[in-house]
Amino acid sequence: MHDKTVAQLSSALASGQVSSVELTHHFLDRIRQDDSRYNSFITVTEEAALRDARTADERRQQGNATPWTGIPFAHKDLFCTNGVRTTCGSKMLENFVPPYDATVTSKLREAGAVCLGKTNMDEFAMGSSTESSFFGATTNPWGEGRVPGGSSGGSAAAVAARLVPAATASDTGGSIRQPAALCGITGLKPTYGRISRYGMIAFASSLDQAGTMTRTALDSAMMLNVLAGHDPKDSTSIDRAVPDYTAELEQPLKGLRIGLPKEYFTDQLGAAMEQTVRNAIAEYEKLGATVQDISLPHANLAIAAYYVIAPAECSANLSRFDGARYGYRCENPKDLLDMYTRTRAEGFGSEVKRRILVGTYALSAGYFDAYYLKAQKVRRLIQQDFINAFGEVDIIMSPTSPSPAFVQGEKSNDPVTMYLEDIFTISTNLAGLPAMSVPAGLIEGLPVGLQMIGDYFSEARLLNAAHQFQQVTDWHQMTPGG
């Protein structure tokens, strides 16, 4: 059953071919047997999952089921879950048990989905390799000793290894799309505000967006149907009607206008990566789409702007972790100042501390205008580039990442090189646009992702394009190890 997609499992449950309890036992057994190889989970909630599975089976017997009733899944460990440890991959929250559910959590619970546990992640979602987790690095199922990407690497690895059919994730600068690409699955980051951030532990509030990790575009559409919608608890949530994202998946792509940013296809992009991506784009031409070159003139400034804005917001958001209210507290502090300084020094890892320092510096007196304000102006220019581009094309396509999965430890001592892993994904977060990554090929046996960027609230169009691509290719069906 683990080789079936969410859509297939939903049909099997509806027909009575399998029960949710049987399905839940099956995936829990796989986690128990195989996750020691991947370390994709931080917490496994076996008892609660089996209880929820029994409830799901009762709902189906009563005729009160949704497509998700009884479907197992996993949460990235930054979505607060009532009564379940939620760590954000950090020593700071190692023993934090929230007394409430995030909106993402409650929506999936209401739909009858069965949560199997919480997946590993870079600490406070800061990283591109899931190596900064306090609970140890996650390994990519496609290659022993290779990273799964980050920060949602645990979710991506769990789906790729068929430990769960789907998982939640979050994307601040590419943290859904990049690990989806490196693990050979489908990852969707919706428009900023399309899914509520309430109860999602914040890294950078103007950039963070919840999203989905699945094997297919159809499964992503099914998941977005549950998660999307306005939430009065989140002031950044958009009050806009939610369409049925599965309704237009079968629409033909004839006339679709695809733009290729010349700034993303340069000599710095490896020949094998460029050829693999262009081969995928050629499939769209066969489906009736037209392709043209476009320009995003300020794309080269995205990394610099992001690594001023995101650390600045991180510095503000993480100031609450001081040992006074909740989370880790140092032992036997001498006084209040000692408690603050030792708690934060001991509770945060090196990457989090690095970003807090950068952000605090950028917000300090005398530097705010020179760095933070200027970065926000660049952000507006990047957004305008996309607005102009979508006057000419419907979807923008590019590589998701500059290379396939790299070896663990290869870039962990070089922060700038690690930051460049998100060079193709960061701009969409700065602009607040929807984007997704779909499997598009292999390079030396490792997955390659094709990134698709859409205009605001064009998730249905992106999902349609991804679904049609997956009808004529089989990259999304490939499993690690062949």
> How does pLDDT run across 320-343, given as a tens digit for each residue?
999 998 999 999 999 999 999 999
Give residue 412's pLDDT: 86
Amino acid at 151: S
Give residue 144's pLDDT: 85
* Neighbouring C-alpha atoms within 13 Å toward the C-beta of 457: 12
Topology of domain 6-254+434-477 in CATH is Amidase signature (AS) enzymes (3.90.1300)
| CA nearest neighbour of 461 among 394, 396, 387 | 394
Tell me the residue length of the chain: 482
Question: Which one is catalytic: 10, 76, 118, 155?
Answer: 76
Question: Which one is catalytic: 20, 151, 196, 427?
Answer: 151
Give the pLDDT mean for 205-210: 98
Whether residue 175 lies in the annotated active site:
yes
Reply yes or no on whether the pLDDT at 193 is more than 80: yes
Distance (Å, rounded) from C-alpha 54 to C-alpha 51?
A: 5
Rg (CA), the chain: 21
| CA nearest neighbour of 189 among 359, 415, 449, 435 | 435
Give residue 416's pLDDT: 87
Question: What secondary structure does DSSP assign to 114-183, as a single string?
Answer: EEEEEE--SGGG--SSS-S-TT-PPPPTTSTTB---SSSHHHHHHHHTTS-SEEEEEESSSTTHHHHHHH
CA quadruple 30, 137, 310, 262: dihedral sign: negative
Report helix, strand or coil for 207.
coil
Is residue 192 within 8 Å of residue 234, measured between CB atoms?
A: no
Distance (Å, rounded) from C-alpha 378 to C-alpha 383?
A: 9
Give the pLDDT mean for 74-90: 98
Whether residue 76 lies in the annotated active site:
yes
Amino acid at 210: A
Is residue 245 within 8 Å of residue 198, measured between CB atoms?
A: no
Q: Where are the domains of the chain?
A: 6-254+434-477
Whether residue 15 lies in the annotated active site:
no
Question: Which one is catalytic: 40, 152, 170, 175?
Answer: 175
Reply yes or no on whether the pLDDT at 482 is more than 60: no
